[in-house]
Amino acid sequence: MLGHPAVPVYLLDGCEPVIFDAGYSCLGQTYVKEIKKIIGNRQPAYCFLSHSHFDHCGSVSIFKSLFPLIKIGSSLRAKTIFKRPNAVALMKKLSTSAELLARECGINGLEPDGFNSFDVDITIKDNDIIKLSDGLTVKAIETPGHTRDCISFYIPEKKVLFCSESFGIQDNTGYIFTDFLIDYDLYLDSMNKMSALETDVICIGHNYVYTGKDAVIYKQNAIAGCKRFLKMAKAFLVEEHGDIVTVVNRIKKIEYDGKTGFVQPEPAYLLNLEARIKVVKKMLGKHKQ
């Protein structure tokens, strides 16, 4: 786990070192320095991207410039998104707000690199297996729900799971954010799919890594938290007669306001929270039909 824990990248060392996700653009130089401390003059073979959000692909262009042999892998859907001018513009905007927040929180080693577009070299789909060496492979698992393009990565020989936001995100108070931006049922199905995997280590997208018994407990807590959030959001929507703005403000007070430390940039949080509430409102509408 390299860089700042709030926005890390993960490195799997070996004959062909692999980076999982690419964090913030303003932390790109920090990631590179820490990667080089471990692998020396060798080059990472791959950088596998979990999905197309700015805080998981921010440093790809930096990696490609400083590690010219690296191959960037993502889903086909994500590859398409990375080519959209409006998506790139939004990633640039959110990267700027993230840099300001990081500076305010006193994070060291920031470089104003800015987000730059990049090319994806290889596309990955469900159940693809990438052989790194004898006895070491990466298995891709499609885990939609947070986004449609979400892919998690499992190292069966090490029982390690890299799941980004597909399995929730715990903050420093112990609260687990449930982050289904596209579909609740898909999100819960993805969590159940990953829960069935034998895991000694769970690497989530932000803040923490869980090992041993803590990994088992985290799986249970994340699924329970997902169901609690749905219940809360449904209740608030009924109480507020479907007013999304009011429900967003009520949940923001519970999830976000007053939290200390390095938190998700507010513009990104509000975009995501509104998307979650819209998903729940759509579910309520279907139940009325």
The CATH number of the domain holding residue 206 is 3.60.15.10
**Could you tell me if residue 186 is inside a domain?**
yes
**Could you tell me if residue 16 is inside a domain?**
yes
**Could you tell me if residue 145 is inside a domain?**
yes
**Could you tell me if residue 265 is inside a domain?**
no
pLDDT of 112: 76
Closest alpha carbon to 204 in 157, 153, 255, 272 = 153
Helical residues (DSSP H) of 163-262, grouped into ranges: 184-195, 212-239, 244-255
Percent of the chain residues past pLDDT 90, beyond the cut: 82
Partnered with residue 130 across adjacent β-strands are: 138
**Could you tell me if residue 4 is inside a domain?**
no
**Could you tell me if residue 234 is inside a domain?**
no
pLDDT tens profile 149-173: 999 999 999 999 999 999 999 998 8
- What sign has the CA pseudo-torsion 269, 31, 103, 261? positive
pLDDT of 289: 47
pLDDT of 288: 57
As for how many domains the chain has, the answer is 1
* Domain boundaries, position 189: 10-226
Q: At which residue do the structure tokens 């990667």 appear? A: 35
Do 237 and 284 contact (CB within 8 A), yes or no?
A: yes
**Could you tell me if residue 218 is inside a domain?**
yes
Q: What is the DSSP track for 38-53?
A: HHTT---SEEE-S-S-
The tally of CA atoms less than 13 A away on the side-chain side of residue 286 is: 7
Residue numbers in the chain where pLDDT is lower than 50: 289
**Could you tell me if residue 168 is inside a domain?**
yes
Provide the pairing of β-strand 18-20 with 46-48: parallel
pLDDT of 287: 59
